């Protein structure tokens, strides 16, 4: 991974959910390289979270590993408290944690439905609420940022492209798209910016089975005009820019970072 060319996020504190692997890990490392102190949230993969922390520290940044299930209110509250205690403020939330539990509608269990909605939709709500409370109480720290706080949702191209066989996932991301827009409108008067990054196909654990097989890889590539499957850092670079003051006038936007995937009809 190339070094960040400038430290855009010096003295800011970021919470990144699901930062033990994949896109969340990439974002946490990039934010750390840009000078942010990063709360590396994980759910089950402590080793992955420690690896993220080590990479942030190797780049000269600070990191705190915090275990929390984003779907559990008490755990989210405890994570924000730990972040505050360790770093004093919170300036950035990246709602990244997400899961898939695929099944045809007729076979989908309540467990598969509720687990995905809990992690992908309720989790971002709980974290956004905790972050907004903090940002509003804190106000703008003029020496470090023009905004009082920044929230990014890691959504999906499936917040607009339907996805047969994945009704729980596609519904959760459609909900995230509306949550983002509603919160952007609600929080703008308090100078809090809220945006989404919607990835296309990115090589991570969530879709490893697909991209590791030749056939699966070809199928993915056939949906990507730009001709390559994305890497976590393709998303991370955009996230580091979107939470910086360079993007200060952007709120309520969805950036499709997808190699052109959304250009094809579904």
Q: Which residues are catalytic?
A: 169
Q: Give the residue with the Cβ less far from ligand NAD, 12 or 155.
A: 155
Token pair for residue 47? 């080793």
Q: What phi and psi values does residue 178 have, to the nearest 5 degrees?
A: -75, -35
Interface with ligand NAD, residue 96, by CB under 6 A: yes
Residue at token pair 């770093």 = 87
Please, how many CA atoms are within 13 Å of residue 223, restricted to the half-sphere of its CB?
A: 17
Measured N-to-C along each axis, helices 73-87 and 123-138 cross at an angle, to the nearest 10 degrees, of: 40
Among 171, 204, 251, 254, binds ligand NAD (CB under 6 A): 204
Shortest CB 166 distance to ligand NAD, Å: 10
Contacts 24+ apart (CB under 8 A), 159-163: 159/196, 159/198, 159/254, 160/198, 160/262, 161/261, 161/262, 161/266, 162/266
Among 32, 98, 149, 259, binds ligand NAD (CB under 6 A): 98
Q: Collapsing DSSP states into helix, strand and coil, what is residue 236?
A: helix
Closest CA to 120 of 81, 67, 174: 174
Closest CA to 154 of 234, 56, 69: 234
Among 4, 8, 15, 18, binds ligand NAD (CB under 6 A): 18
Is the distance from CB of 56 to CB of 64 less than 8 angstroms?
A: no
Q: Give the residue with the Cβ less far from ligand NAD, 148 or 236.
A: 236
Q: Which stretch binds ligand NAD (CB under 6 A): 2-10, 102-110, 180-188, 205-213?
A: 205-213
| Contact flags string 144-173 toward ligand NAD, x per CB under 6 A | ----------x-x-----------------
Q: Which stretch binds ligand NAD (CB under 6 A): 58-66, 142-150, 197-205, 240-248?
A: 197-205
Q: Which stretch binds ligand NAD (CB under 6 A): 55-63, 79-87, 133-141, 195-203?
A: 195-203
| Contact flags string 53-72 toward ligand NAD, x per CB under 6 A | ----------------xxx-
Among 13, 14, 15, 23, binds ligand NAD (CB under 6 A): 23
How far is residue 235's CA from residue 196's CA, in Å, rounded to a whole number?
A: 11
Closest CA to 24 of 175, 220, 235, 212: 235
How far is residue 83's CA from residue 26's CA, in Å, rounded to a whole number?
A: 20
Residues making up the chain, counted from first to last: 266
Shortest CB 227 distance to ligand NAD, Å: 16
Q: Give the residue with the Cβ less far from ligand NAD, 17 or 145.
A: 17
Interface with ligand NAD, residue 119, by CB under 6 A: yes
Interface with ligand NAD, residue 206, by CB under 6 A: yes
Q: What is the rounded radius of gyration, in angstroms, for the C-alpha atoms of the chain?
A: 17
Q: Give the residue with the Cβ less far from ligand NAD, 41 or 195.
A: 41
Is the distance from CB of 75 to CB of 83 less than 8 angstroms?
A: no
Interface residues toward ligand NAD, by CB under 6 A: 17-18, 20-24, 41-45, 69-71, 96-99, 119, 123, 154, 156, 199, 201-202, 204-207
């Amino acid at each position: 991974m190339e070094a960040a060319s400038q430290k855009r996020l010096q003295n800011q504190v970021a919470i990144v959910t699901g930062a033990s692997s994949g896109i969340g890990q990439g974002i946490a490392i990039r934010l750390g390289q840009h000078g942010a102190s990063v709360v590396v949230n994980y759910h089950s993969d402590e080793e992955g979270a420690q690896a993220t922390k080590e990479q942030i520290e190797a780049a000269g940044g600070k990191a705190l590993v915090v275990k929390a299930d984003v779907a559990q209110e008490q755990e989210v509250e405890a994570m924000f408290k730990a972040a505050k205690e360790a770093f004093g403020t919170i300036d950035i939330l990246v709602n990244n944690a997400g899961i898939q539990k695929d099944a045809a509608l007729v076979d989908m269990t309540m467990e598969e439905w509720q687990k995905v909605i809990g992690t992908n939709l309720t989790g971002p709500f709980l974290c956004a609420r905790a972050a907004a409370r903090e940002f509003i109480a804190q106000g703008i720290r003029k020496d470090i940022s023009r905004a009082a706080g920044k929230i990014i949702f890691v959504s999906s191209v499936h917040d607009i492209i339907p996805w047969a066989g994945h009704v729980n996932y596609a519904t959760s991301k459609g909900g995230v798209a509306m949550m983002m827009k509603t919160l952007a409108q609600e929080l703008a008067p308090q100078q809090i910016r809220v945006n989404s990054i919607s990835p296309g196909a990115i090589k991570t654990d969530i879709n490893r089975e697909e991209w590791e097989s030749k056939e699966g890889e070809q199928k993915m590539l056939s949906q990507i005009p730009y001709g390559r499957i994305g890497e976590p850092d393709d998303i991370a670079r955009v996230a580091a820019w979107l939470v910086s003051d360079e993007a200060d006038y952007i709120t309520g936007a969805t950036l499709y970072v997808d190699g052109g995937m959304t250009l094809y009809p579904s």
